[in-house]
Amino acid sequence: MLTRLLSGDTPRSGLLTALLLIVLISLAFAPFLFPGTRSLETAARICIFIVLVASYDLLLGYAGIVSFAHTMFFGIGAYGTALALSTTGPGYGSLIWGTAAGAVVAAVFALAIGLFSLRVKAIFFAMVTLAVASAFAVFVSQMSWLTGGEDGLNYKIPRELTPAFKLIDEKILGVRINGKLLAYYLVFFVSAILFLVMLRIVNSPFGRTLKAVRDNAFRAEAIGYRVVWYRTTATILSAVMAALAGSLLAIWLRYTGPATTLSMEIMIDILLMVVIGGMGTLYGAVLGATLFILAQTYLQTLMGVAADASSAVPLFSTLVAPERWLLWLGVLFILSVYFFPSGIVGRLRAGRA
């Protein structure tokens, strides 16, 4: 049953299984294990980014396609939901059609980009995605009458998903059972389902064919696979998944703007998360996203503590000053790529034998 749910793609390493279980349990019980707004925000962000990073790995790790348009698809999903909620009111109807519209638009964009540029060299595709994504970001910030421009959109979501809605009056384990909690579990379960769907896709005959195309597109053609169609389909699937992740973010934040969805910074973060976790394995997305977002959120705090504790040591305390957290994130990234070139998952699986 469990193997079926995981599509036969078990972690195949004791330590990896343990780590994944820790992440799963922490996320599943995050509101109770780590009370507080900030930790809940972080947990929801991890859930959403697991989907986003996994969908990027579907493209980069499985199909071997480098795209810089992933945040554009993420943004299309988020803006779809945001626009529907802000224009037609905070109902479930608008939430659903906005999300669906975002996914459809993302799919159409992906199809167009794919057919237009996947026939040619990989570098050309990467450049086209970069150009289209930049143009899209400019477009969104210019269309301020519709998208709110750089300020983005604030909107209401269905009341049952907001803190104002109380399910029961008493607290359970010191946690208020309110709409925010429901919203978190919506994010958690939808993310989990999307992840399992992607796990199935990469282990399907289609997913296996993608790996063949990545390994040797020339030979894949010669045994009868129409490579362009496989690449285009992978691009579309990955775009739709990214759009759905964007919709989750839009619901969770009740705000959508260029900085939270479309920025090149997020694109780079996604790329780093895939590489740190391990390309070509969706479990890498889980670990990559979790570690990266934890570091992003708590490294600054941690360094603040370290700087205070070491204020007597002159050079060291300057180095670990909280404002230098990006430097240390960079150092961590370089170290992880140096020591785990095949990512954390690749390293753990190799160490099994």
Of residues 295 through 314, those in contact with other proteins by CB under 8 A are none
Residue with tokens 């943004």: 75
Residue 115: other Cβ atoms inside 10 A? 14
Distances from the Cα of 305 to the Cα of 48, 88, 206, 333, angstroms: 29, 47, 49, 21
Specify whether the CB–CB gap between 212 and 218 falls below 8 A.
no
CA atoms within 13 A on the CB side of 29: 8
- Nearest approach in angstroms of CB 234 to other proteins is 10
Q: Is 200 in the site for other proteins (CB under 8 A)?
A: yes
Q: Kindly tell me which residue out of 104, 196, 212, 321 binds other proteins, with binding defined by CB under 8 A.
A: 212
Q: Which is nearer to other proteins, 60 or 289 (CB)?
A: 60
Distances from the Cα of 174 to the Cα of 13, 34, 36, 130, angstroms: 36, 11, 11, 47
Question: Binding marks (x or -) toward other proteins, 151..190, rule CB under 8 A?
Answer: ----------------------------------------
Q: Which is nearer to other proteins, 176 or 211 (CB)?
A: 211
- Which tokens go with 252? 């969770």
Q: Kindly tell me which residue out of 151, 221, 308, 323 binds other proteins, with binding defined by CB under 8 A.
A: 221
Q: Which is nearer to other proteins, 156 or 226 (CB)?
A: 226
Q: Kindly tell me which residue out of 208, 330, 334, 350 binds other proteins, with binding defined by CB under 8 A.
A: 208
Q: Which is nearer to other proteins, 10 or 311 (CB)?
A: 10
Q: Kindly tell me which residue out of 94, 117, 191, 209 binds other proteins, with binding defined by CB under 8 A.
A: 209
Q: Is 233 in the site for other proteins (CB under 8 A)?
A: yes
Specify whether the CB–CB gap between 124 and 87 falls below 8 A.
no
- Which tokens go with 149? 């421009």
- Nearest approach in angstroms of CB 163 to other proteins is 38
Q: Kindly tell me which residue out of 145, 218, 338, 339 binds other proteins, with binding defined by CB under 8 A.
A: 218
- Nearest approach in angstroms of CB 47 to other proteins is 23
Specify whether the CB–CB gap between 186 and 251 falls below 8 A.
yes
- Nearest approach in angstroms of CB 239 to other proteins is 15
Q: Is 8 in the site for other proteins (CB under 8 A)?
A: yes
- Which tokens go with 68? 């810089």
Nearest in space to 95 (alpha carbons), one of 113, 118, 78, 114: 78
DSSP 68: S
Residue with tokens 């992840």: 195
Specify whether the CB–CB gap between 288 and 343 falls below 8 A.
yes
- Nearest approach in angstroms of CB 353 to other proteins is 12
Q: Is 195 in the site for other proteins (CB under 8 A)?
A: no
Q: Is 205 in the site for other proteins (CB under 8 A)?
A: yes
Q: Is 262 in the site for other proteins (CB under 8 A)?
A: no
Q: What value does the CA radius of gyration of the chain take, rounded to a whole number of Å? A: 21
CA distance 284 to 62: 12
- Nearest approach in angstroms of CB 255 to other proteins is 34
Distances from the Cα of 344 to the Cα of 20, 203, 286, angstroms: 12, 20, 11
149: left (phi over 0), alpha (psi -120 to 50) or beta: left
Q: Is 207 in the site for other proteins (CB under 8 A)?
A: yes
Considering only the stretches 89-97, 102-110, 223-231, 242-250, report the one whose residues sit in contact with other proteins under the rule CB under 8 A: 223-231
Q: Which is nearer to other proteins, 204 or 301 (CB)?
A: 204
Nearest in space to 150 (alpha carbons), one of 162, 161, 159, 137: 137
Q: Kindly tell me which residue out of 150, 215, 265, 323 binds other proteins, with binding defined by CB under 8 A.
A: 215
CA distance 103 to 167: 31
Q: Is 226 in the site for other proteins (CB under 8 A)?
A: yes
- Nearest approach in angstroms of CB 306 to other proteins is 41
Binding site for other proteins (CB under 8 A): 4, 7-8, 200-201, 203-209, 211-212, 215-216, 218-227, 229-230, 233, 237
